[in-house]
A and B are shown apart, each in its own frame.
Chain A
Amino acid sequence: MNHHEDEGLDAREAMPTRREVFQTAGILGGALAGAGLFAALGGCETKSAPESAPAPGAAGGDRPRAPKADEEYVWLSANANLPLFTAHDHPALHLVGRELGVKVTVGGPNSIDIPSLVSAIEQTAARKPAGMMVVGWDPSALVVPINRAIESGIPVVCVDADVPASKRLAFIGTDWYDLGVRQAEAMVKALGERKGKVALLGLIEQEIDQKAFAGFRSVAEKAGLTCLEPQQDKGNQVEATRVAAAIIQAHPDLAGMAGFDSESGPGMSQAVKEAGKSGKIIVTSVEAEEQHLRFIKEGVLTAGIGQKRGLFTYMGVKALYEINHSPLKFTPDDRAAGIVPVPVVYSTGTYTVTRDNVHLFLKA
């Protein structure tokens, strides 16, 4: 509300005028240009363009191994600039783009906004890229746009999180059930003979987290541990710390905590440390980022289960590239027969970081 406006603001007045929108667009355009300049001056990575064409493979069949000019592969996700993505998924995407000599692009909204992700998929499909990788943030809402893209002849694979009900050609990512199993194994090992309650934190509405909870329970409950109902931490460290602190107070006999999104681990560790219960409450979590490694080194976080995130986009582009260029043929017309020359599921695996091997992961 500005001083030039009359008192008694109504809903219509609260709406921005066209002039205001244009003014803001101009101002923010300048600010964004400044930010872009800052990034360029700072040597930050930008979207890669093909640097050199690869040597054409000695391909048989009728599909050329070399990429076409301006062959583009697009990675689409909600929360597209999540630090985890910018640290692993995006650099690997640009790496494989340079390696294959194709254009790679990042797209999607900067928040967990499924309608905007649907819109991004549809708009990207309209420009007919050579292939699309979609992070399956919602296993049902994304079915239609993925199927439409496939039906319009664009190869689509899911990376990181799957949309199994869609016609996607392949899935490349972590087996989250297995990730839950790994966490539980680390938890049971650290607890030894101790039994008791274990709290679970994560993005509870996400299918991948639900799979991980199931994997965790399958091992933990057999070992005599009681898993509490999973709590929502909104994928936010501040929230994860607050929720974990409340759980610690609510359950003085808590034996362990397991976290299933990238912010759960640091949040839980902070809460455990501040409650003076480091080592008394066993903490495990997904991911092994710098913050996780710091807590592992301090002995607060017992185990971080890292995902090989770089493989998601690296193998994603390679899979799409093979779909377009593979010399392998199973029928005279594989596309019509619904056969793709790549595996349907790529399980990229995990690795476990503990205090014993954390030095291998810490930057010098």
Chain B
Amino acid sequence: MTPRAPDSAGRRPRWTSLPREVVLGALIVLIVLLLWLAGLVYPQLSTFFTLGNLSAILRNLAFEGILATGMMLLLVAGVFDLSVGSMASLSGVVAGWLMKKAGWPVPLAVAGALGTAAFGGFLNGVIVAKVRVNALITTLGTMGVFSGIALLIGGPGITFLPESFSRLGQEEFLGIQAPVWLMAALAGTAGFLLWRTRFFRQYYYIGSNPKAAHLSGINVEGMQILAFTIAGTIAGLAGIVYASRIQTASSTVGVGAELQAITAVILGGASLTGGRGTIFGAMVGVFFMALMKNLLIILRTSSEWQGIILGAVLVLAVGADSIMNRRQER
């Protein structure tokens, strides 16, 4: 459920958004239907419904899922960050470099990489909120800066990272890898904070109407800087966890991940104009995209058609939501 800021007419904020919930519900139903269809068409694929397959799907969506958590926070606040993929690459490389080249202990190296990511996010926040540069331009620029620095430090990649580090991303519990549990914990925490705490709910007001939020005494600039810092740190965490999973710090793992994350959160209920969306929705979006991609491969769809179908689903889902919103406003 998405709390909303008061609109310009001063009407009472809506605590529920029926179209949004309808879209999310439809997505979940669609996911279940797709699963069922896959089983019907290819009954021989008994492995599809096994824990092994679910685990593989989850394992491969964790990276995007973690990124999507931070991206949803930003979109609720009415901004977005195109540099999160590059930041994920950079933080993984910084962690790897500190461990392998500088000889730092694993916890310190991880802390150093997270600190770098937080600083990168903070820098984005300051440029957007204080210098008042458009978020698209700012983060497009820092995307290049972060990925360039990652290449300078990491080159083609830093391999053979310490075993104690790789355990972080490779441990399993109930057949599910640690990054998935981390994503779930992060999403749960972020979802709770955004839904239940007065402090984080301010982001809905900021995203819906930044001017009104400012006039009502909310420190909009500070909150935006905080949102970018949190999103940067989360992106850093995603990069570190992925480096741990593959025991290698690759300077290009995050290429294109920002668009995947934005796609998933928009699909899951966020709006590019801000003020809407939930972490639950972001997770549904991420899960939906991952499932669609998985099913298209299972169904032997050619790569060209996969792109067409995924793009069409995104446009249809967002278009339908937009139409429903307009109807509701009338």
Contact = CB atoms under 8 A, between A and B. Distances in A.
Contacts of B8: 7
Nearest to A6: B211
Contacts of B159: 290-291, 293-294
Contacts of B220: 3
B152 A42 contact: yes
B156 A83 contact: yes
Describe B's contact surface by its main secondary structure.
Answer: helix
Nearest to B42: A250
B294 A249 contact: yes
Interface in A1-44: 1-7, 9, 14, 16-17, 20-21, 23-24, 27-28, 31-32, 35, 38-39, 42, 44
Contacts of A291: 156-157, 159, 246, 248, 250
B311 interface: no
Interface residues of A, number: 63
A361 B179 CA distance: 32
Interface in B268-314: 273-274, 290, 293-294, 297-298, 300, 302-303, 306-307
Contacts, number: 186
A56 to B, nearest CB: 36
Contacts of A192: none
A236 interface: yes
Interface string B20-37: 000000000000000000
A263 B246 CA distance: 13
Contacts of B256: 234, 236, 239
Given A87-B155, A237-B250, A270-B246, A7 B211 contact: yes
B303 A231 contact: yes
B152 A38 contact: yes
B155 A237 contact: no
B142 A31 contact: yes
A214 interface: no
Given A236-B252, A243-B297, A3 B214 contact: yes
Interface stretch (B53-61, B103-111, B191-199, B317-325): B53-61
Given A16-B134, A24-B138, A237 B210 contact: no
Contacts of A82: 252
Interface size class of B (residues with CB under 8 A): 35 or more
A249 B56 contact: yes
Contact of B298 (A1, A6, A249): A249
Interface stretch (B10-18, B124-132, B181-189, B228-236): B124-132
Given A236-B253, A242-B60, 9 more contacts: A1-B210, A3-B220, A16-B133, A20-B137, A27-B141, A83-B252, A229-B303, A241-B60, A249-B298
29 contacts: A1-B79, A2-B128, A2-B132, A3-B129, A3-B213, A3-B220, A7-B210, A14-B136, A16-B133, A16-B137, A23-B133, A24-B138, A24-B141, A28-B144, A35-B152, A83-B156, A83-B157, A86-B155, A86-B156, A236-B252, A236-B255, A238-B60, A238-B63, A238-B254, A249-B53, A252-B47, A263-B252, A266-B250, A275-B56
